[in-house]
Amino acid sequence: MKTQPSTLARATLVLSVLTLTTCGGQEGMDTAGMGQLSLVLASSAAPVASMQASSEHSCGAPQAASVTFSAILARTLGGTLAEVTIALPTTVDLLSMVNGKEATLPDGFLPPGTYDQFVVVMKSVELTLIDGTKVTITPPGGGWTAIVNVTQPFTVVAGQTTTVKLKFRRDLSFGCSLGGWEFHPKFECDGAN
């Protein structure tokens, strides 16, 4: 069996993220000389109803999706991954972001530089259906990893705050298969606001 280069690269990335996540990383780190990063979560324009219409008959209709973020990394233009020093884990209801509502993650820090990609790791997802039923979606080993390319690279400057908006694609992230919910997180990012 021949391993594809992209499969090997993805496995290496996931292993690196898991190593950073399990080794701690953010506690007690010195943020001197770093730039502050404010990550704002928003939702794509697709309504929740579009997700419900395709799945409510076999899985039930969701009204909330509590997703726990466990690690965030950013890639420099030179291809180096830097862990965002941020107070994680934190849980956000990604389905509550409708009609312009947004959620802000705790402020993080990055070394000065220009970045063109995020790696977002999530460790748990719990759906609440309209009838009140709670559904836990089982993660793959290490959680879910979303690689988010940034349309316009953003620059982090020491001593300044850079705000970046990540748009969650709820219409592409949840699905119902064989009577059970699945989660394949999709995000979009245009760059700094």
Asked if 85 and 29 count as a contact pair (C-beta separation under 8 A), the reply is: yes
Burial of 14 (0-12, 13-18, 19+ CB in 10 A): middle
Q: Is residue 30 part of a domain?
A: no
What is the tens place of the pLDDT at every residue in 106-160?
Answer: 999 999 999 999 999 999 999 999 999 999 998 988 899 999 999 999 999 999 9
Q: Is residue 98 part of a domain?
A: yes
pLDDT of residue 50: 44
Q: Is residue 177 part of a domain?
A: yes
pLDDT greater at residue 96 or residue 47: 96
* Number of structural domains found in the chain: 1
Q: Is residue 91 part of a domain?
A: yes
Q: What's the predicted TM-score (pTM) here?
A: 0.78
Domain that residue 41 falls in = 5-25+35-192
What is the tens place of the pLDDT at every residue in 52-91?
Answer: 444 445 678 889 999 999 999 999 999 999 999 999 999 9
Q: Is residue 64 part of a domain?
A: yes
